[in-house]
């Protein structure tokens, strides 16, 4: 039997602010601080977000207040202390008066939201705990797709039943809570959940395509799953759901791959496919999401698509961030200088490497693609330049804590003996250098020539293209 306490359903007179206070303990110790990341409108990852960190007292008590300027904003909570904990994808609105009680031991965590507006918080947190184990199933099975024994229908027959069970449980939670949650928020939570599972399925089809080559059986399943999840009737809700936008993007990419019968796709082709599949606000939202992700491909083609979108979109918010990315993505400009400490504490600047070709790799701890890229660089790229003294490999870490970075360096998973390893000082994506280039995730590779000119702010991770670009900078540009 499912039993969830969703909290006080009373709605006080609306005001222009929301507040969250409470007490947080982790493993017998009070939390150090709580970070609140507010996103008024989802554009791409942390873009358009503001983060406020408040200190806890020696009893783990904290208080946070936020002026809310729209009918609904998104909230991610990070708890810092004896460990780091996350409460993600909450929906906040004016009038919320929330008290958070968080007490965790080595055995279990007791988490409860009470106060005005609390039902939607408890519902979202319950769903978060349902979705989290799904990631474990995915990480377990995705690498096995490389095996001839686990791709195509075998892969989907194993993974889909696991997710169906989770999806039904999440839907049950929403049904239990919907009467105590305002209709707008209930619709958004439902759209987020549906988008989460839909996006996961499209991601699996894209991942599997390289191995099953889009067999007739897999294609039939793809079409069935697409029809099951595609519903753009309520565009006003869907356009505000990050998971739905990600799903629509991956759906367009998967369709393009099945149509072409190939996993090869250019930035222009993906933009064209998105434009032909969607219209209006959804089209702009999906294209903005894709273009701000700095897709892998030809840099000039990317700049052309950015310019076209920035000059034609109606959304002022999308246009603002697209133009920012356009400015930061322009190649053939001097790389912004920086000063960051290496693993010995010595301050390093990009200017000291002038006269050499520089490859910069951005990463953070627990980033699976970062580990995969590092492994590929060590096994397939660095050996090609073993005796080449005119090239420098730099890594820039985006962790919050130096001790986390140092521990990851020792693991050997993220860097190599050849790299100069730098730390962004704990400000991560807020570092001026990182913000200047609009980075919102990792990994990213920069390629800089001998004159300090940024040749590519999103160097291809495909080995042949990567080597061709590096060799051109090394041997053709003197």
The structure tokens listed for 15 are 């005001």
Q: For position 33, what pLDDT does the model report?
A: 93
Distance from C-alpha of 267 to C-alpha of 297, rounded to nearest angstrom = 6
- Within 8 A by CB and 6+ apart from 116, the residues are 8, 10, 11, 12, 95, 96, 97, 98
Q: How many CB atoms lie within 10 A of CB 59?
A: 10
Q: 339, 425 in Cβ contact below 8 A?
A: no
Cα–Cα distance for residue pair 18/212, rounded to 1 Å: 50
The answer to whether 123 touches 177, Cβ cutoff 8 Å, is yes
Residue 393, beta-bridge partner list:
359, 419
Kindly state the tokens that stand for 128.
Answer: 């978060």
Strand partners for 445 = 361
Residues 6+ apart with CB under 8 A from 293: 44, 441
How far, CA to CA in Å, does 382 sit from each of 59, 111, 385, 423, 450? 51, 47, 5, 21, 18
The confidence score (pLDDT) of residue 134 equals: 58
Which residues are CB-contacts of 211 (< 8 A; sequence separation ≥ 6)?
145, 146, 151, 152
Please report, for residues 19, 113, 125, the alpha-carbon distance to residue 60 in angstroms, rounded to integers and kept in the order given.
17, 16, 20
- Considering just the CA atoms, what is the radius of gyration of the chain in Å? 23
Contact 75, 90 (CB under 8 A): yes
Question: What's the pLDDT at 50?
Answer: 84
Evaluate whether 98 touches 19 at the Cβ level (below 8 Å). yes
Q: Characterize the bridge pairing of strands 17-26 and 61-67.
A: antiparallel
Residue 148: CA atoms inside 13 Å, Cβ hemisphere, count?
0
Taking alpha carbons only, the member of 267, 260, 143 closest to residue 204 is 143
Cα 232 from Cα 251, distance rounded (Å): 13
- Compute CA 222 distance to the chain's CA centroid, rounded to the nearest angstrom: 24
- Mean pLDDT in runs of 10 for the chain (478 residues)? 44 69 92 91 78 93 90 91 87 94 83 94 91 58 49 72 87 92 94 92 82 79 89 86 94 92 88 95 94 79 90 91 76 81 90 90 87 90 90 91 90 88 87 81 87 84 86 80
Q: Which residues pair with 87 in a beta bridge?
A: 77
The pLDDT value given to residue 206: 85
- Length reported for the chain: 478
């Amino acid at each position: 039997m499912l039993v969830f306490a969703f909290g006080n359903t009373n709605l006080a007179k609306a005001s222009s602010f929301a507040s969250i206070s409470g007490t947080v303990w982790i493993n017998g110790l009070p939390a150090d601080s709580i970070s609140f990341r507010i996103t008024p409108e989802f554009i791409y990852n942390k873009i358009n977000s503001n983060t406020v960190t408040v200190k806890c007292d020696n009893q783990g008590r904290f208080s946070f207040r936020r002026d809310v300027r729209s009918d609904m904003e998104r909230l991610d909570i990070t708890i810092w202390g004896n460990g780091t904990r996350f409460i993600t994808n909450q929906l906040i609105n004016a009038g919320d008066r929330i008290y958070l009680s968080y007490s965790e031991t080595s055995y279990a965590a007791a988490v409860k939201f009470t106060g005005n507006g609390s039902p939607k918080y408890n519902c979202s947190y319950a769903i978060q705990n349902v979705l989290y184990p799904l990631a474990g199933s995915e990480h377990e099975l995705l690498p096995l797709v490389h095996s001839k024994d686990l791709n195509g229908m075998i892969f989907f027959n194993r993974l889909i039943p696991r997710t169906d069970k989770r999806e039904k449980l999440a839907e049950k939670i929403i049904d239990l809570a919907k009467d105590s949650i305002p209709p707008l928020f209930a619709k958004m939570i439902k759209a987020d959940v549906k988008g989460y599972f839909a996006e996961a399925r499209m991601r699996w089809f894209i991942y599997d395509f390289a191995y099953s080559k889009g067999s007739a059986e897999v294609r039939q399943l793809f079409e069935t799953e697409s029809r099951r999840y595609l519903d753009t009737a309520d565009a006003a809700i869907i356009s505000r759901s990050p998971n739905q936008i990600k799903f629509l993007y991956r759906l367009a990419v998967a369709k393009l791959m099945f149509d072409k019968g190939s996993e090869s796709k250019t930035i222009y082709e993906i933009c064209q496919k998105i434009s032909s599949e969607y219209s209006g606000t959804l089209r702009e939202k999906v294209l903005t999401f894709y273009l701000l992700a700095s897709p892998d491909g030809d840099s000039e083609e990317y700049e052309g698509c950015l310019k076209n979108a920035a000059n034609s979109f109606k959304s002022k918010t999308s246009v603002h961030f697209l133009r920012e990315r356009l400015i930061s993505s322009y190649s053939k400009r001097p790389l912004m200088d920086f000063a960051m400490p290496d693993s010995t504490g010595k301050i390093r600047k990009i200017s000291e490497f002038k006269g050499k070709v520089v490859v910069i790799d951005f990463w953070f701890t627990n980033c699976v693609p970062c580990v995969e890229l590092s492994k590929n660089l060590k096994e397939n790229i660095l050996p090609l330049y073993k005796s080449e003294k005119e090239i420098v490999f730099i890594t820039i870490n985006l962790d919050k804590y130096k001790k986390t970075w140092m521990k990851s360096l020792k693991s050997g998973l993220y860097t190599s003996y050849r790299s100069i390893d730098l730390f962004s000082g704990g400000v991560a994506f807020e570092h001026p250098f990182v913000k200047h280039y609009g980075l919102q995730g990792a990994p990213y590779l920069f390629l800089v020539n001998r004159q300090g000119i940024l040749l590519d702010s999103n160097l291809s991770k495909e080995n042949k293209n990567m080597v061709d670009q590096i060799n051109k900078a090394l041997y053709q540009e003197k």
